[in-house]
Amino acid sequence: MQRFTRPLVVTGLAAVAAVVIAACGSSSNNSNTSSSSSATGKNGGTITIDAGTAPLSPDQGYDFTTQGTELYSVVATPLLTFKRGVTGSASEQIEPGLAESLPKISNGGTTYTLTLRPGLKYSNGQPVMASDFTHAIERDLKIPWIAASFLTGFVKGAAAYAAPHSKLTSISGIKTNNSTRQIQITLVKPFAPFEDVLALGGTAPVPASTAMKNLTATGTIGDGPYKWGPISVGHTYTLIKNTSFNSGSNKVPTVPNGHANKIVFSVNANVITDAENVLNNSADVFDPGDTIPPTVLGRVNSTAKTRYQQIPTNSTFYFFMAVNKKPFSNLYARKAVLAALDLRAMSRYDSGFLTPDCHLIPDGITGHSNPSNCAALTGHPANGAPNMKLAMSYMKKSGMTGQPVTVWGETRSPRAQYATYFASVLNKLGFKATPKLINSGVYFGTIGVASTHPQAGFADWVQDFPHPFDFMQLFTAAAGPAENYGYVNDPHYNSEVNKLEGQPTAKVASQWAALDDYAVKNAYYAAYGHESFPKFESTAMAFGAPSFSLEYELDLTSLELAK
């Protein structure tokens, strides 16, 4: 999902349903959903979260950011869900959500059949109907949902329904029966991660009366442990306990009730202040989508080490370079950049949370190049000094000295420092580079528009599901400008992703790694590391609660105040 503020767009690449993806595991329907507190925690009270970036919207039919997912994932429960109340790889496991069980997959992996649990009700008391799933998908396609290509690329009839000026009134690949509670989804071709798609907030059923527009000021009504309270767009987002959830007939055994009566997500772009607020106990939780600044981290380590932890995630930070326009249409100009980048500097800007590496696939994902071969690919080890002699020889070959470059970046720390550093490296090489820093809340929406067509800049990706396709699809032609900011269109790369995505990952791990190496050798991206995220809470919190999830980052159902 959108780890940090960035949209996920999936390409229409072929897959085989028999592929087993780690996130798509079977599970028991008997998960503990009681709201009983832990040994050190209690139920009730208000928890405040300080975050540097607001979600694009509280409406899951549009938003696909980390910040939004943390919030609306406890408001609107999808048919399937990622396991809550656990940490590490266990949080990648898929369980039934509003559906009674995992889907029955038939017809060679193209038909998914699910049945809603009986007696489900939205937080307003209205019954959940099978046809509400159809309405949710229709909203996704019309608003549109930032991750809508998951649907248009695979669900039969979705692309035609979503087409401009379409007069279709239904999606041919979705059939529902309200009396039997059955939902049947037909794909145009097998796509192994489709269960993951059904666990994303954007596919959660919503009442048929829900408007076909982005409800940015209110969010939607859902069936989850919380419901939306007051929202001040861009400033505060309030969640209120849904007391009707998991009571009476409205049972979703796999989703916990949550502990706090109220959760307030407060947005302040000054992450130094956010971190100090948690350090000084004037806020309860530091949003892990932000980095604790070095000026505060020393005090955290010296005075608050018992309520702070670095947690590894499957993420990659990189710079993109537009390969279809000067100066980075020239291979040697791009290779000069890779040779000149000091990945260690990026880690310093990130308070040591970043592990330097030149590869796109992170070390927690099958297909990661291990041991690292960055020295052979870029001219220097990931943890070594840049090779300026090699870089300058590439520049001479490129003939691009003096070419102007605009480097796009975000205003918040340390992302502003990343972009500024990148511009300084380009200037050392002989380009005429200028940073262009814009607000984080609009950054990815701006650089992902074809009319912007940025030359170079900052980007990042954190796993949506633990599969190399999730990372490598970013540089396929089918990804489009919304994600392929470098406009890479390499026939070999495209065909390899298509081929490998349809095979069991364990058998083709070396081929995924080889494709990553191929892309680095061609300097299609300048990856510089994989990040750990901070778990940092106030003394008011039960810090031992399993509140960090690889899929949700903050698992709001596990946050609880200390006794």
Strands (E) in 45-193, as ranges, are: 46-51, 80-82, 94-96, 104-106, 111-115, 174-177, 182-186
Among 182, 212, 204, 186, smallest CA distance to 114 is for: 182
Eight-class DSSP state of 250: B
Each residue's pLDDT expressed in tens, for the chain with a length of 563 residues: 443 433 333 333 333 333 222 233 323 333 445 567 888 899 999 999 999 989 989 999 999 888 999 999 999 999 999 999 999 889 989 999 999 999 999 999 999 999 999 999 999 999 999 999 999 999 999 999 988 888 998 899 999 999 999 999 999 999 999 999 999 999 998 887 889 899 999 999 999 999 999 999 999 999 999 999 999 999 999 999 999 999 999 999 999 999 999 999 999 989 999 999 999 999 999 999 898 998 999 999 999 999 999 998 889 999 999 999 999 999 999 999 999 999 999 999 988 889 999 999 998 888 999 888 999 999 999 999 999 999 999 999 999 999 999 999 999 889 999 999 999 999 999 999 999 999 887 898 899 999 999 999 999 998 877 789 889 989 999 788 888 999 999 999 999 998 887 677 888 999 999 999 999 999 999 999 999 999 999 999 999 999 999 889 999 999 999 99
Given a contact cutoff of 8 angstroms between Cβ atoms, the answer to whether 66 and 462 are in contact is yes
Which residue is listed with tokens 């709201």?
35
The answer to whether the beta carbons of residues 345 and 417 sit under 8 Å apart is: no
Radius of gyration of the chain (CA): 23
> Which tokens belong to 557?
């159902």
Decide: 158 and 141 in contact? Cβ < 8 Å: yes
Q: Would you mind telling me the total number of residues written for the chain in this entry?
A: 563
Cα 428 to Cα 384: distance, rounded to the nearest angstrom: 18
Residue written as tokens 């990026």? 346
pTM score, whole prediction: 0.83
Contact between 47 and 285 under an 8 Å Cβ cutoff? The reply is yes
Look at residues 343, 328, 332, 407 and name the one whose alpha carbon lies nearest to residue 374: 343
Largest CA distance in the chain: 73
Backbone φ and ψ of 333, nearest 5°: -65, -40
Beta strand 315-321 with 456-462 is antiparallel
